[in-house]
Amino acid sequence: MEQKLADARARLHDLDHGAAATATPTPPTTTLARPAGAKSEVDAAAVRTWAAENGYQVKPIGRIPNDVVDAWREATIGTTPAAVRSARAHDTVAVTGRGPK
């Protein structure tokens, strides 16, 4: 434990004084769950175009509200929002071994 503390202090000292860290940084772990800001599973341009043509107000950039995406899915591919949620829950279980939160 003492050695780990001394190593951490040495790395902090190196960082504070502009030197490169002595240890190689650990690469981030990858997950199969979609983090915030990740690519969507739908074509945002297609959803925005459909939404504008069908009376929904959607901003030109940023997140598209779930109710708009659900309505687009139902109108364009015949998938009901409940079926999509069920499929998402199944995918979550298959990928993580846990159900949705």
Q: How far is CA 93 from its chain centroid?
A: 17
Would you write out the chain's pLDDT as a tens digit for each of its 101 residues?
889 889 988 888 888 877 554 556 666 554 444 556 666 678 899 999 999 999 999 999 999 999 999 999 999 888 655 665 666 665 554 555 555 55
* Entry pTM: 0.43
CATH number at residue 49: 4.10.320.10
Domain count, the chain: 1
Let me know if residue 59 belongs to a domain: yes
Let me know if residue 73 belongs to a domain: yes
Instruction: Check residue 91 and give its pLDDT.
Output: 56
Instruction: Check residue 21 and give its pLDDT.
Output: 46
Let me know if residue 1 belongs to a domain: no
Instruction: Check residue 80 and give its pLDDT.
Output: 59
Q: What is the dihedral of CA 69, 71, 76, 82, to 10 degrees?
A: 90
Let me know if residue 88 belongs to a domain: yes
Let me know if residue 26 belongs to a domain: no
Let me know if residue 2 belongs to a domain: no
Let me know if residue 52 belongs to a domain: yes
Instruction: Check residue 87 and give its pLDDT.
Output: 62
Let me know if residue 18 belongs to a domain: no
The boundaries of the domain holding residue 64 are: 41-96
